[in-house]
Amino acid sequence: VMRSRVQGGGTFGELLREVRRTTLEAYSHQEAPFEKVVEAVLKERDLSRSPLFQVLFSLQEEKEGPVGRVDLGGLQVTAEEPVQGISKFDLTLMVTSDPEGIRMRLEYCADLFERETMERMLGHYVQLLGSVVSCPEERVDGLRLLTVAEERELVEVFNRTEAAYDRDKTVVELFEEQVARTPWSVAVVDEGGEVTYRELEERSNRLGHYLRERGVGVGVLVPLCVERGIGLITAILAVWKAGGAYVPIDPEYPAERIRYMLGDLNSPVLLSNAQKSAELAAMLRDGSLPGGSELINIEECVALEPGYSWEKIEGAGGERTVAYVMYTSGTSGKPKGVVVEQGNIVSLVKGVNYVTLDEGTVVLSTGVPSFDATTFEYWGPLLNGGRLILCPQTVLLDTVRLKELIVSEEVTTMFFSTGWFNQLIETDISLFAGLKALLFGGERVSMSHVCRLREQYPQLRISHVYGPTETTTFSTSYRMGEVREDRDLPIGGPLDNRTAYILNERRQLCPVGVPGELWIGGAGVSRGYLNDVERTAEKYIDNPYGEGRVYRTGDRCRWLEDGNIEFMGRVDEQVKVRGFRIEPGEIETVLECCTGVSRAVVVVKEGLEGQKRLVAYVSVSGGYERQAVWQWLRSRLPEYMVPSQLVELEDLPLTANGKVDRRRLPDPGLSESSRGYEAPRTETERVLAGIWSGLLGRERIGINDNFFEIGGDSIISIQVVSRARRQGYELQPRDLFLYQTIGKLSAVLSSR
């Protein structure tokens, strides 16, 4: 057994000399029995595979031509090796050289490889040999692997996405054109009422004039801390009409995160609504938030509307004007702001083929404004004459009320994060009955759930969508046809006017079937990161295969033969949970600033039905208090970034070079609550404990365990409510958030 290191920076000649030296040195040990080598190297044997290696290259040289060839007076007989029914190794390439040339024979394990894959591999090998012969002193990692035809397929055929759309217009201009076409059609509906296109236009114009007077113009960033409702859409349009860009700030964000974002923006105004204005005003007064911004209550502005013109505002900018800045998790411990332009939004919802958007489209929006899927949910219907339904949070978590809303508003189109999609399929699949188009994405999907939905509603158009915030919500789409439970679902091919390249570390195209990093180009690529030139230059690169820039996603993917892309994980440690991109490093930084935590590592664990959750492992020291850590996290991180479980260890397991050895981290299910276990006492407590245990995958749950500290979240709460109701308990979705232990919840249920 001989091993050689292939250094990408070295030439093929250097590699050849290294292999020759290794081979000659190995011959001096050729008398060592193979079994003795295995015994010395391997401590444990896996009898299902060959030890030490699973890929074999065999070279035989025959000086007198093929063995076994006989000439019988005009009849030539050649001995051939028998075809083996079972491969000895995963992959074996046997090369025979004789005066007539070189013959190759490839043997492979059919359980691991498709025949087409092997044929491509042989073609690449032949291409590589040709590159070596023509350029023997070329760097190894620079040798050509793809044929011209393959490169054309990857660059042009798979990326043939050019389509006509209103690329020179802004969202505001297209909305105003839609108002002229359908002025009295209903545009937006919330739990308080509805507005027509004309009414929305006039309200936003008046508020836009008001904002202009207060310093909002082209390029001004306006923080928007507004709950879902007609006022939110009015405020967004008003900011755009004044020339500015909105920055969504989730009202549920902790004060520390809001403080950082406001300081990063340095805006003259802060827009809010009645419910949140009082809280923000108090935070400004006590110094929790930076001063200098005028707090504007959009409801109070309604009273001022008669004094402001409803007519169009001039000078609001063009398609390159910033539309919004959306903050996502950052590796440095602070969130990063993605700058998206007006033209990026238009390319997402105009002239597209991944979903039908017209005057008959009714979209039910389920996301908070700081979730980038709302870009599609809001402007997909509103720029195409459809109707936008804004769903209250209380309805989202109650499947009975959610289904009633879908039916009553005749909803046609919805987007779901993958985790929520899985839970709803499990809870009540009939919820999808009236829809025409369903989009989902964000995490790996449960194929059994997809198959159930396809079988139940074959007429439903189901699309698996993918895309980071930096490329404006969706970049690829896979429209579901026939699905199989034994295969992962692809993320599809690039959307109209977008491109996708899968490249290796040297920015070379990866062949079909070979993993690499996914780079997204085209009309959806945003401007970059706010106030971060260095990070923008690192992630936004000049397109090596076309015009414009491409964004390096950090996602590990590969092309399939049919032109679809398969997601295979990350090239870094970023994770996705409940549809949100999360940098574990940001959570770890916050944890390590907490008293009593000397070191922390955050990982994703997959529970029942593929549900993902964040688990934090902490090395504790003097002064550590579990409840203080929970409070610290919730005061600095949004809810979706707070780990669902803390595991305390004296020391984190380390590798030889001092990094945390994630493989040796203990099973978090074995850790006990610091509150101490107290068994259920009543029938109600036992029923609730059984439901929690089944959904959270924990054998023993006490009545004082906190639902959100042992793995629960808002999505899992949907199933808790559903299962409790099936057993006769009138549990409401908000109950779990108000009474987070079985003891408290049971007491409330018993009193009803």
Residue with tokens 């026939």: 482
pTM, to two decimals: 0.81
pLDDT at 674: 47
Structure tokens at 15: 């590699």
- Contacts of range 694-702, beta carbons closer than 8 Å, 24 or more positions apart: 694/608, 694/723, 695/608, 695/719, 695/720, 695/723, 696/607, 696/608, 697/607, 697/608, 697/669, 698/669, 699/669, 701/742, 702/673, 702/675, 702/676, 702/677, 702/678, 702/742
3-state secondary structure 149-210: HHHHHHHHHCCCCCCCCCCCCCHHHHHHHHHHHCCCCEEEEECCEEEEHHHHHHHHHHHHHH
pLDDT at 608: 55
pLDDT at 222: 94
**Can you tell me the distance from the alpha carbon of 679 to that of 701, in angstroms, rounded to the nearest whole number?**
7
Higher pLDDT, 368 or 526: 526
**Can you tell me the distance from the alpha carbon of 206 to that of 201, in angstroms, rounded to the nearest whole number?**
9
Structure tokens at 566: 């398969």
Is the per-residue pLDDT at 602 higher than 70? yes
Lowest-confidence segment of 381-385, 649-653, 654-658, 707-711 by average pLDDT:
654-658
Lowest-confidence segment of 190-194, 490-494, 537-541, 723-727 by average pLDDT:
723-727
H or E segment and range at residue 19:
helix 12-27
Amino acid residing at 209: H
Structure tokens at 539: 């992630």
What one-character-per-residue DSSP string does 639-688 give? GGGS-SEEEEESS--B-TTSSB-GGGSPPGGGPPPTT------SHHHHHH
Average pLDDT, the chain: 84
Q: What is the crossing angle of helices 171-181 and 342-349, to 10°?
A: 50
Is the per-residue pLDDT at 614 higher than 80? yes
Q: Which residues contact 321 (CB under 8 A, 6 or more apart)?
A: 170, 218, 219, 243, 245, 341, 342
Higher pLDDT, 730 or 520: 520
**Can you tell me the distance from the alpha carbon of 23 to that of 346, in angstroms, rounded to the nearest whole number?**
61
**Can you tell me the distance from the alpha carbon of 699 to that of 694, in angstroms, rounded to the nearest whole number?**
8
Percent of the chain at pLDDT > 70 equals 89
What is the β-pairing status of strands 516-522 and 549-559? Answer: antiparallel
Is the per-residue pLDDT at 70 higher than 80? no
Handedness of CA 425, 426, 427, 428 (dihedral sign): positive
Strand positions, DSSP E, 543-636: 549-559, 565-570, 575-577, 580-582, 597-606, 612-620
**Closest Cα partner for 617 from 639, 595, 584?**
584
Is the per-residue pLDDT at 85 higher than 60? yes
Percent of the chain at pLDDT > 90 equals 33
User: How does pLDDT run across 31-58, given as a tens digit for each residue?
Assistant: 778 777 777 777 677 766 777 788 888 8
User: In this structure, what DSSP letter does residue 495 have?
Assistant: P
* Of 504-518, 580-594, 654-668, highest mean pLDDT: 504-518
What is the β-pairing status of strands 91-98 and 101-108? Answer: antiparallel
pLDDT grade, residue 65 (50/70/90)? low
User: How does pLDDT run across 302-351, given as a tens digit for each residue?
Assistant: 666 566 777 788 877 888 999 999 998 876 667 889 999 999 999 999 98
Lowest-confidence segment of 149-158, 552-561, 667-676 by average pLDDT:
667-676
**Closest Cα partner for 577 from 418, 358, 471, 427?**
418
pLDDT grade, residue 607 (50/70/90)? low
Longest pairwise C-alpha distance within the chain: 110
Q: Which residues contact 553 (CB under 8 A, 6 or more apart)?
A: 468, 470, 471, 517, 518, 519, 520
**Can you tell me the distance from the alpha carbon of 280 to that of 602, in angstroms, rounded to the nearest whole number?**
31
Instruction: Report the chain's C-alpha Rg in angstroms.
Output: 30
Q: Is 569 helix (H, G, I), strand (E, B) or coil?
A: strand
In the sheet with 493-494, reading across from the earlier edge strand, the strands are 193-196, 186-190, 387-390, 362-365, 413-417, 437-441, 461-466, 476-479, 493-494
User: How does pLDDT run across 639-654, given as a tens digit for each residue?
Assistant: 888 887 888 887 888 7
pLDDT grade, residue 527 (50/70/90)? very high
Higher pLDDT, 438 or 9: 438
pLDDT at 248: 93
Q: What is the crossing angle of helices 197-213 and 171-181, to 10°?
A: 140
pLDDT at 694: 81
**Can you tell me the distance from the alpha carbon of 525 to that of 498, in angstroms, rounded to the nearest whole number?**
9
pLDDT grade, residue 174 (50/70/90)? very high
Is the per-residue pLDDT at 67 higher than 90? no
**Can you tell me the distance from the alpha carbon of 664 to that of 643, in angstroms, rounded to the nearest whole number?**
19
pLDDT grade, residue 276 (50/70/90)? low
- Asked if residue 599 lies in contact with residue 407, where contact means CB atoms within 8 angstroms, the answer is no
pLDDT grade, residue 670 (50/70/90)? very low
- Asked if residue 552 lies in contact with residue 541, where contact means CB atoms within 8 angstroms, the answer is yes
Give the number of other Cβ atoms within 10 Å of residue 469's Cβ: 21
Higher pLDDT, 572 or 692: 692
